[in-house]
A and B are shown apart, each in its own frame.
Chain A
Protein backbone atom coordinates (compact mmCIF):
# COMPACT_ATOMS: atom_id res chain seq x y z
CA UNK A 1 0.00 0.00 0.00
CA UNK A 2 1.25 3.44 -0.91
CA UNK A 3 2.23 5.61 2.02
CA UNK A 4 -0.45 8.06 3.04
CA UNK A 5 -0.15 11.52 1.55
CA UNK A 6 0.19 14.65 3.61
CA UNK A 7 -0.19 17.51 1.19
CA UNK A 8 1.24 20.94 1.80
CA UNK A 9 2.82 23.70 -0.21
CA UNK A 10 6.24 25.25 -0.49
CA UNK A 11 5.90 28.80 -1.76
CA UNK A 12 9.03 30.44 -3.04
CA UNK A 13 8.47 34.16 -2.50
CA UNK A 14 11.82 34.97 -4.17
CA UNK A 15 10.33 34.32 -7.58
CA UNK A 16 6.73 35.41 -6.99
CA UNK A 17 5.94 38.43 -9.16
CA UNK A 18 2.45 38.95 -7.72
CA UNK A 19 0.71 38.33 -11.04
CA UNK A 20 -2.43 36.88 -9.39
CA UNK A 21 -2.65 34.06 -11.94
CA UNK A 22 -3.13 31.69 -8.97
CA UNK A 23 -6.14 33.71 -7.82
CA UNK A 24 -7.86 33.63 -11.20
CA UNK A 25 -7.02 29.99 -11.85
CA UNK A 26 -8.62 29.13 -8.53
CA UNK A 27 -11.68 31.28 -9.20
CA UNK A 28 -12.30 29.55 -12.49
CA UNK A 29 -11.42 26.00 -11.37
CA UNK A 30 -13.53 26.13 -8.22
CA UNK A 31 -16.33 28.44 -9.43
CA UNK A 32 -15.55 30.89 -6.65
CA UNK A 33 -18.37 33.48 -6.64
CA UNK A 34 -17.68 37.06 -7.72
CA UNK A 35 -16.28 39.22 -4.94
CA UNK A 36 -14.86 36.23 -3.06
CA UNK A 37 -11.51 34.46 -3.15
CA UNK A 38 -10.02 31.22 -1.85
CA UNK A 39 -6.49 32.45 -2.40
CA UNK A 40 -5.05 35.93 -2.64
CA UNK A 41 -1.79 37.76 -3.19
CA UNK A 42 0.02 39.84 -0.61
CA UNK A 43 2.72 42.39 -1.29
CA UNK A 44 4.56 43.23 1.90
CA UNK A 45 7.15 45.97 2.08
CA UNK A 46 9.37 46.26 5.15
CA UNK A 47 12.24 48.40 6.31
CA UNK A 48 13.38 51.99 6.45
CA UNK A 49 13.76 54.05 3.31
CA UNK A 50 15.93 53.63 1.26
CA UNK A 51 16.67 50.14 2.62
CA UNK A 52 13.33 48.56 1.77
CA UNK A 53 12.56 44.91 1.26
CA UNK A 54 9.57 43.60 -0.58
CA UNK A 55 7.99 40.18 -0.61
CA UNK A 56 5.17 38.93 -2.84
CA UNK A 57 3.36 35.85 -1.78
CA UNK A 58 0.26 33.88 -2.61
CA UNK A 59 -1.79 32.94 0.46
CA UNK A 60 -4.64 30.53 1.20
CA UNK A 61 -5.92 28.09 3.82
CA UNK A 62 -2.88 26.67 5.63
CA UNK A 63 -4.33 23.15 5.96
CA UNK A 64 -3.14 23.08 9.57
CA UNK A 65 -2.35 19.76 11.20
CA UNK A 66 -3.92 21.20 14.35
CA UNK A 67 -6.68 23.25 12.78
CA UNK A 68 -8.81 25.44 15.10
CA UNK A 69 -11.64 25.36 12.54
CA UNK A 70 -11.86 21.56 12.82
CA UNK A 71 -11.57 21.73 16.60
CA UNK A 72 -14.39 24.24 16.83
CA UNK A 73 -16.78 22.91 14.15
CA UNK A 74 -19.88 21.69 16.00
CA UNK A 75 -21.06 19.27 13.33
CA UNK A 76 -17.89 17.70 11.95
CA UNK A 77 -18.43 19.52 8.62
CA UNK A 78 -14.86 20.82 8.81
CA UNK A 79 -12.63 17.79 8.99
CA UNK A 80 -9.19 16.39 8.22
CA UNK A 81 -9.07 14.45 4.98
CA UNK A 82 -6.90 11.36 4.67
CA UNK A 83 -4.48 13.31 2.46
CA UNK A 84 -3.59 15.68 5.30
CA UNK A 85 -5.75 18.58 4.06
CA UNK A 86 -8.64 20.28 5.85
CA UNK A 87 -11.93 19.93 3.99
CA UNK A 88 -15.52 21.08 4.42
CA UNK A 89 -18.46 18.73 4.04
CA UNK A 90 -21.08 21.09 2.64
CA UNK A 91 -23.95 18.79 3.50
CA UNK A 92 -23.15 19.08 7.20
CA UNK A 93 -22.34 22.80 7.34
CA UNK A 94 -24.94 24.86 9.22
CA UNK A 95 -23.28 28.19 8.44
CA UNK A 96 -22.76 28.89 12.15
CA UNK A 97 -19.47 30.64 11.26
CA UNK A 98 -17.58 29.34 14.30
CA UNK A 99 -14.80 28.12 11.99
CA UNK A 100 -14.44 31.61 10.49
CA UNK A 101 -13.98 33.09 13.94
CA UNK A 102 -11.58 30.29 14.88
CA UNK A 103 -9.24 30.65 11.89
CA UNK A 104 -6.15 32.76 12.75
CA UNK A 105 -5.48 33.14 9.00
CA UNK A 106 -8.94 34.44 8.03
CA UNK A 107 -8.92 31.92 5.22
CA UNK A 108 -12.66 31.19 5.20
CA UNK A 109 -15.83 32.95 4.10
CA UNK A 110 -19.55 32.28 3.91
CA UNK A 111 -20.44 31.25 0.36
CA UNK A 112 -23.54 33.09 -0.93
CA UNK A 113 -25.26 29.69 -0.97
CA UNK A 114 -24.94 29.46 2.83
CA UNK A 115 -22.14 27.01 3.52
CA UNK A 116 -18.64 28.04 4.54
CA UNK A 117 -16.00 27.79 1.85
CA UNK A 118 -12.22 27.95 1.52
CA UNK A 119 -9.26 26.48 -0.36
CA UNK A 120 -9.58 22.70 -0.69
CA UNK A 121 -6.06 22.36 -2.07
CA UNK A 122 -7.96 21.21 -5.18
CA UNK A 123 -8.68 17.80 -3.67
CA UNK A 124 -10.75 16.90 -6.73
CA UNK A 125 -7.61 17.38 -8.85
CA UNK A 126 -4.99 15.85 -6.56
CA UNK A 127 -7.12 12.72 -6.31
CA UNK A 128 -6.58 12.33 -10.03
CA UNK A 129 -2.87 12.88 -9.75
CA UNK A 130 -3.10 16.48 -10.99
CA UNK A 131 -1.60 19.53 -9.32
CA UNK A 132 -3.77 22.24 -7.81
CA UNK A 133 -5.13 24.87 -10.22
CA UNK A 134 -2.93 27.60 -8.70
CA UNK A 135 0.24 25.51 -8.91
CA UNK A 136 -0.50 24.47 -12.47
CA UNK A 137 -0.66 28.05 -13.74
CA UNK A 138 2.07 29.67 -11.64
CA UNK A 139 4.39 31.12 -14.32
CA UNK A 140 7.48 31.37 -12.08
CA UNK A 141 7.15 28.06 -10.19
CA UNK A 142 6.73 29.99 -6.95
CA UNK A 143 3.89 27.67 -5.96
CA UNK A 144 4.72 24.02 -5.34
CA UNK A 145 2.44 21.26 -4.16
CA UNK A 146 4.41 18.87 -1.94
CA UNK A 147 3.86 15.70 0.01
CA UNK A 148 5.18 16.41 3.50
CA UNK A 149 5.26 12.68 4.28
CA UNK A 150 7.84 12.12 1.58
CA UNK A 151 11.10 11.66 3.48
CA UNK A 152 13.92 13.76 2.05
CA UNK A 153 11.47 14.62 -0.72
CA UNK A 154 10.92 17.60 -2.94
CA UNK A 155 9.89 19.80 -0.05
CA UNK A 156 13.13 19.17 1.84
CA UNK A 157 15.26 19.69 -1.24
CA UNK A 158 13.57 22.98 -2.00
CA UNK A 159 13.92 24.35 1.50
CA UNK A 160 17.38 23.06 2.48
CA UNK A 161 19.81 25.81 3.39
CA UNK A 162 17.27 28.58 2.99
CA UNK A 163 15.43 30.84 5.35
CA UNK A 164 11.97 29.33 5.51
CA UNK A 165 9.04 30.33 7.66
CA UNK A 166 5.48 29.34 8.43
CA UNK A 167 2.81 31.88 9.38
CA UNK A 168 1.63 32.33 12.98
CA UNK A 169 3.24 29.11 14.15
CA UNK A 170 2.82 30.43 17.69
CA UNK A 171 -0.93 30.00 17.26
CA UNK A 172 -0.19 26.30 17.71
CA UNK A 173 -1.81 25.39 14.41
CA UNK A 174 1.06 23.46 12.82
CA UNK A 175 0.32 24.83 9.33
CA UNK A 176 1.22 22.88 6.18
CA UNK A 177 2.29 25.87 4.08
CA UNK A 178 5.98 26.83 4.00
CA UNK A 179 7.34 30.08 2.62
CA UNK A 180 10.85 30.46 1.32
CA UNK A 181 11.59 34.00 2.47
CA UNK A 182 12.37 36.72 -0.06
CA UNK A 183 15.21 37.81 2.22
CA UNK A 184 17.32 34.82 1.12
CA UNK A 185 20.44 35.89 -0.75
CA UNK A 186 20.11 35.40 -4.51
CA UNK A 187 21.19 31.92 -5.48
CA UNK A 188 20.81 30.55 -1.95
Chain B
Protein backbone atom coordinates (compact mmCIF):
# COMPACT_ATOMS: atom_id res chain seq x y z
CA UNK B 1 0.00 0.00 0.00
CA UNK B 2 2.86 2.33 0.90
CA UNK B 3 4.38 1.73 -2.54
CA UNK B 4 1.12 2.44 -4.33
CA UNK B 5 0.56 5.67 -2.43
CA UNK B 6 4.13 6.74 -3.09
CA UNK B 7 3.73 5.99 -6.80
CA UNK B 8 0.50 7.99 -6.94
CA UNK B 9 2.05 10.95 -5.09
CA UNK B 10 5.18 10.99 -7.26
CA UNK B 11 3.03 10.57 -10.36
CA UNK B 12 0.85 13.53 -9.42
CA UNK B 13 3.88 15.78 -9.01
CA UNK B 14 5.45 14.78 -12.32
CA UNK B 15 2.03 14.73 -14.01
CA UNK B 16 1.38 18.30 -12.91
CA UNK B 17 4.52 19.36 -14.76
CA UNK B 18 3.29 17.54 -17.87
CA UNK B 19 0.02 19.47 -17.55
CA UNK B 20 1.82 22.79 -17.20
CA UNK B 21 3.88 22.19 -20.34
CA UNK B 22 0.82 20.78 -22.08
CA UNK B 23 -1.26 23.89 -21.36
CA UNK B 24 1.30 25.91 -23.33
CA UNK B 25 0.75 23.66 -26.32
CA UNK B 26 -3.03 23.82 -25.94
CA UNK B 27 -3.07 27.63 -25.75
CA UNK B 28 -1.29 27.86 -29.11
CA UNK B 29 -3.48 25.21 -30.64
CA UNK B 30 -6.69 26.79 -29.37
CA UNK B 31 -5.86 30.10 -30.99
CA UNK B 32 -3.93 29.19 -34.11
CA UNK B 33 -4.55 25.48 -34.74
CA UNK B 34 -0.79 24.98 -34.80
CA UNK B 35 0.63 22.09 -32.79
CA UNK B 36 3.73 23.58 -31.25
CA UNK B 37 6.55 21.04 -31.27
CA UNK B 38 8.97 23.65 -29.91
CA UNK B 39 7.42 23.73 -26.43
CA UNK B 40 10.18 21.51 -25.01
CA UNK B 41 12.83 23.79 -26.47
CA UNK B 42 11.09 26.87 -25.09
CA UNK B 43 11.02 25.20 -21.68
CA UNK B 44 14.73 24.47 -21.89
CA UNK B 45 15.65 28.00 -22.96
CA UNK B 46 13.40 29.36 -20.18
CA UNK B 47 15.27 27.32 -17.60
CA UNK B 48 18.58 28.61 -18.97
CA UNK B 49 17.35 32.22 -18.94
CA UNK B 50 16.49 32.03 -15.24
CA UNK B 51 19.87 30.44 -14.55
CA UNK B 52 21.61 33.13 -16.62
CA UNK B 53 20.09 35.95 -14.59
CA UNK B 54 20.39 34.29 -11.19
CA UNK B 55 23.79 32.65 -11.50
CA UNK B 56 25.74 34.12 -14.41
CA UNK B 57 24.72 37.70 -13.70
CA UNK B 58 24.48 37.05 -9.96
CA UNK B 59 21.11 38.76 -9.56
CA UNK B 60 19.00 38.19 -6.45
CA UNK B 61 16.70 35.20 -6.97
CA UNK B 62 13.41 37.04 -7.43
CA UNK B 63 14.89 39.73 -9.67
CA UNK B 64 16.59 37.01 -11.70
CA UNK B 65 13.31 35.14 -12.05
CA UNK B 66 11.55 38.31 -13.17
CA UNK B 67 14.35 39.02 -15.64
CA UNK B 68 13.87 35.54 -17.12
CA UNK B 69 10.13 36.09 -17.25
CA UNK B 70 10.58 39.35 -19.15
CA UNK B 71 12.80 37.55 -21.66
CA UNK B 72 10.19 34.80 -22.05
CA UNK B 73 7.54 37.43 -22.84
CA UNK B 74 9.85 39.03 -25.37
CA UNK B 75 10.66 35.66 -26.91
CA UNK B 76 6.97 34.85 -27.38
CA UNK B 77 6.41 38.21 -29.01
CA UNK B 78 9.38 37.83 -31.36
CA UNK B 79 8.47 34.29 -32.40
CA UNK B 80 4.96 35.38 -33.36
CA UNK B 81 5.88 38.72 -34.87
CA UNK B 82 8.84 37.66 -36.99
CA UNK B 83 8.19 33.95 -37.44
CA UNK B 84 4.63 32.77 -37.35
CA UNK B 85 2.84 35.91 -38.56
CA UNK B 86 4.66 35.83 -41.85
CA UNK B 87 3.25 32.38 -42.47
CA UNK B 88 -0.40 33.30 -41.94
CA UNK B 89 -2.40 31.88 -44.83
CA UNK B 90 0.14 29.14 -45.54
CA UNK B 91 -0.85 25.46 -45.14
CA UNK B 92 -1.06 24.47 -41.48
CA UNK B 93 1.59 21.81 -42.08
CA UNK B 94 4.12 24.54 -42.94
CA UNK B 95 3.49 26.22 -39.60
CA UNK B 96 3.93 22.93 -37.77
CA UNK B 97 7.20 22.29 -39.61
CA UNK B 98 8.34 25.77 -38.56
CA UNK B 99 7.80 24.82 -34.90
CA UNK B 100 9.96 21.73 -35.47
CA UNK B 101 12.64 23.95 -37.01
CA UNK B 102 12.32 26.31 -34.05
CA UNK B 103 12.92 23.40 -31.68
CA UNK B 104 16.08 22.45 -33.59
CA UNK B 105 17.23 26.07 -33.65
CA UNK B 106 16.72 26.52 -29.91
CA UNK B 107 18.53 23.25 -29.22
CA UNK B 108 21.50 24.35 -31.32
CA UNK B 109 21.69 27.87 -29.91
CA UNK B 110 21.43 26.74 -26.28
CA UNK B 111 24.11 24.10 -26.85
CA UNK B 112 26.31 26.67 -28.56
CA UNK B 113 26.14 29.20 -25.74
CA UNK B 114 25.56 27.17 -22.61
CA UNK B 115 26.09 23.52 -23.52
CA UNK B 116 29.66 23.37 -22.29
CA UNK B 117 28.56 22.44 -18.78
CA UNK B 118 26.71 19.26 -18.01
CA UNK B 119 24.37 20.78 -15.44
CA UNK B 120 23.78 24.23 -14.09
CA UNK B 121 22.25 24.62 -10.68
CA UNK B 122 19.95 27.34 -9.36
CA UNK B 123 20.48 28.84 -5.95
CA UNK B 124 18.11 26.96 -3.65
CA UNK B 125 14.79 28.80 -3.72
CA UNK B 126 12.52 25.81 -3.13
CA UNK B 127 13.69 23.78 -0.12
CA UNK B 128 14.10 20.02 -0.72
CA UNK B 129 13.34 18.88 2.87
CA UNK B 130 11.35 15.64 3.11
CA UNK B 131 7.74 15.75 4.26
CA UNK B 132 5.94 12.57 5.38
CA UNK B 133 2.18 12.16 5.16
CA UNK B 134 0.27 8.87 5.43
CA UNK B 135 3.50 6.94 4.90
CA UNK B 136 4.26 8.85 1.70
CA UNK B 137 7.48 10.82 1.65
CA UNK B 138 7.72 13.72 -0.72
CA UNK B 139 10.17 16.57 -0.74
CA UNK B 140 8.81 19.99 0.10
CA UNK B 141 10.17 20.96 -3.31
CA UNK B 142 7.79 18.52 -5.03
CA UNK B 143 4.81 19.65 -2.99
CA UNK B 144 5.47 23.31 -3.71
CA UNK B 145 5.94 22.56 -7.41
CA UNK B 146 2.60 20.73 -7.45
CA UNK B 147 0.82 23.61 -5.74
CA UNK B 148 2.41 26.26 -7.98
CA UNK B 149 1.48 24.27 -11.07
CA UNK B 150 -2.12 23.83 -9.97
CA UNK B 151 -2.44 27.54 -9.17
CA UNK B 152 -1.01 28.56 -12.54
CA UNK B 153 -3.31 26.23 -14.44
CA UNK B 154 -6.27 27.40 -12.34
CA UNK B 155 -5.46 31.00 -13.23
CA UNK B 156 -5.41 30.14 -16.91
CA UNK B 157 -8.73 28.30 -16.70
CA UNK B 158 -10.26 31.44 -15.17
CA UNK B 159 -8.44 33.63 -17.70
CA UNK B 160 -10.02 31.81 -20.63
CA UNK B 161 -13.42 31.74 -19.02
CA UNK B 162 -13.79 35.27 -17.72
CA UNK B 163 -11.16 37.69 -19.05
CA UNK B 164 -11.68 39.79 -22.20
CA UNK B 165 -8.50 38.50 -23.84
CA UNK B 166 -9.35 34.95 -22.88
CA UNK B 167 -12.81 35.21 -24.42
CA UNK B 168 -11.33 36.81 -27.54
CA UNK B 169 -8.87 33.95 -27.85
CA UNK B 170 -11.68 31.43 -27.59
CA UNK B 171 -13.64 33.31 -30.22
CA UNK B 172 -10.67 33.33 -32.60
CA UNK B 173 -10.15 29.63 -31.99
CA UNK B 174 -13.79 28.95 -32.82
CA UNK B 175 -13.95 30.97 -36.04
CA UNK B 176 -11.32 33.46 -37.13
CA UNK B 177 -13.48 35.14 -39.78
CA UNK B 178 -16.40 35.64 -37.44
CA UNK B 179 -14.10 36.90 -34.68
CA UNK B 180 -12.58 39.46 -37.05
CA UNK B 181 -16.07 40.61 -38.07
CA UNK B 182 -16.76 41.23 -34.39
CA UNK B 183 -13.74 43.55 -34.26
CA UNK B 184 -11.35 41.16 -32.55
CA UNK B 185 -7.74 41.60 -33.63
CA UNK B 186 -6.48 38.13 -34.50
CA UNK B 187 -2.93 39.46 -34.61
CA UNK B 188 -3.16 40.55 -30.99
CA UNK B 189 -4.70 37.21 -30.04
CA UNK B 190 -1.89 35.29 -31.74
CA UNK B 191 0.75 37.39 -29.98
CA UNK B 192 -0.92 36.86 -26.61
CA UNK B 193 -1.16 33.12 -27.25
CA UNK B 194 2.54 32.84 -28.02
CA UNK B 195 3.48 34.98 -25.02
CA UNK B 196 1.33 32.83 -22.72
CA UNK B 197 2.91 29.72 -24.19
CA UNK B 198 6.49 30.93 -23.72
CA UNK B 199 5.69 32.12 -20.18
CA UNK B 200 4.25 28.70 -19.31
CA UNK B 201 7.29 27.04 -20.84
CA UNK B 202 9.51 29.35 -18.79
CA UNK B 203 7.69 28.50 -15.56
CA UNK B 204 7.86 24.78 -16.39
CA UNK B 205 11.57 25.11 -17.12
CA UNK B 206 12.28 26.85 -13.84
CA UNK B 207 10.32 24.30 -11.81
CA UNK B 208 11.85 21.34 -13.61
CA UNK B 209 15.32 22.89 -13.44
CA UNK B 210 14.97 23.24 -9.69
CA UNK B 211 14.63 19.42 -9.45
CA UNK B 212 17.00 18.20 -12.15
CA UNK B 213 19.39 21.08 -12.64
CA UNK B 214 19.43 22.98 -15.91
CA UNK B 215 20.74 20.99 -18.81
CA UNK B 216 20.23 20.52 -22.52
CA UNK B 217 18.11 17.43 -21.81
CA UNK B 218 15.26 19.35 -20.16
CA UNK B 219 13.37 19.51 -23.45
CA UNK B 220 12.89 15.73 -23.32
CA UNK B 221 9.87 16.24 -21.07
CA UNK B 222 7.94 17.43 -24.11
CA UNK B 223 8.01 13.85 -25.41
CA UNK B 224 5.69 12.91 -22.55
CA UNK B 225 3.56 16.02 -22.92
CA UNK B 226 2.46 15.44 -26.51
CA UNK B 227 0.37 12.37 -25.62
CA UNK B 228 -0.96 14.26 -22.60
CA UNK B 229 -2.23 17.05 -24.84
CA UNK B 230 -3.84 14.63 -27.29
CA UNK B 231 -5.36 12.65 -24.46
CA UNK B 232 -6.82 15.82 -22.98
CA UNK B 233 -8.50 16.64 -26.23
CA UNK B 234 -6.09 19.22 -27.72
CA UNK B 235 -8.28 22.22 -26.95
CA UNK B 236 -9.26 21.74 -23.33
CA UNK B 237 -7.21 23.18 -20.50
CA UNK B 238 -9.05 21.24 -17.77
CA UNK B 239 -8.62 18.24 -20.08
CA UNK B 240 -4.86 18.62 -20.30
CA UNK B 241 -4.69 19.08 -16.54
CA UNK B 242 -6.49 15.83 -15.86
CA UNK B 243 -4.68 13.98 -18.65
CA UNK B 244 -1.31 15.10 -17.26
CA UNK B 245 -2.15 13.80 -13.82
CA UNK B 246 -3.49 10.51 -15.24
CA UNK B 247 -0.38 9.94 -17.34
CA UNK B 248 1.94 10.87 -14.47
CA UNK B 249 0.25 8.51 -12.03
CA UNK B 250 0.02 5.65 -14.52
CA UNK B 251 3.68 6.06 -15.43
CA UNK B 252 4.70 5.62 -11.82
CA UNK B 253 2.27 2.80 -11.15
CA UNK B 254 3.54 0.97 -14.23
CA UNK B 255 7.09 1.64 -13.10
CA UNK B 256 6.22 0.13 -9.75
CA UNK B 257 4.32 -2.93 -10.89
CA UNK B 258 4.98 -3.58 -14.59
CA UNK B 259 8.72 -2.97 -14.80
CA UNK B 260 9.62 -5.98 -12.64
CA UNK B 261 7.45 -8.23 -14.83
CA UNK B 262 8.60 -6.84 -18.18
CA UNK B 263 12.24 -6.36 -17.15
CA UNK B 264 12.44 -2.97 -18.83
CA UNK B 265 11.33 0.57 -18.22
CA UNK B 266 7.68 0.77 -19.26
CA UNK B 267 7.27 4.41 -18.27
CA UNK B 268 8.19 5.76 -21.68
CA UNK B 269 5.68 3.47 -23.39
CA UNK B 270 2.72 3.87 -21.04
CA UNK B 271 1.61 7.38 -22.15
CA UNK B 272 1.45 6.31 -25.77
CA UNK B 273 -0.28 3.05 -24.94
CA UNK B 274 -2.96 4.91 -22.98
CA UNK B 275 -3.27 7.42 -25.79
CA UNK B 276 -3.92 4.72 -28.37
CA UNK B 277 -6.50 3.04 -26.14
CA UNK B 278 -8.35 6.28 -25.44
CA UNK B 279 -8.28 7.43 -29.06
CA UNK B 280 -9.81 4.14 -30.18
CA UNK B 281 -12.75 4.73 -27.86
CA UNK B 282 -12.85 8.54 -27.95
CA UNK B 283 -11.11 9.83 -31.09
CA UNK B 284 -11.39 13.44 -29.88
CA UNK B 285 -9.58 12.73 -26.64
CA UNK B 286 -11.04 12.77 -23.15
CA UNK B 287 -12.29 16.35 -23.27
CA UNK B 288 -12.03 17.23 -26.97
CA UNK B 289 -14.86 18.81 -28.87
CA UNK B 290 -16.66 16.60 -31.32
CA UNK B 291 -17.17 18.78 -34.35
CA UNK B 292 -20.17 18.16 -36.52
CA UNK B 293 -20.42 19.76 -39.92
CA UNK B 294 -23.95 20.30 -41.20
CA UNK B 295 -24.23 20.17 -44.96
Are both chains from one complex? no
A interface residue numbers (CB < 8 A to B):
none
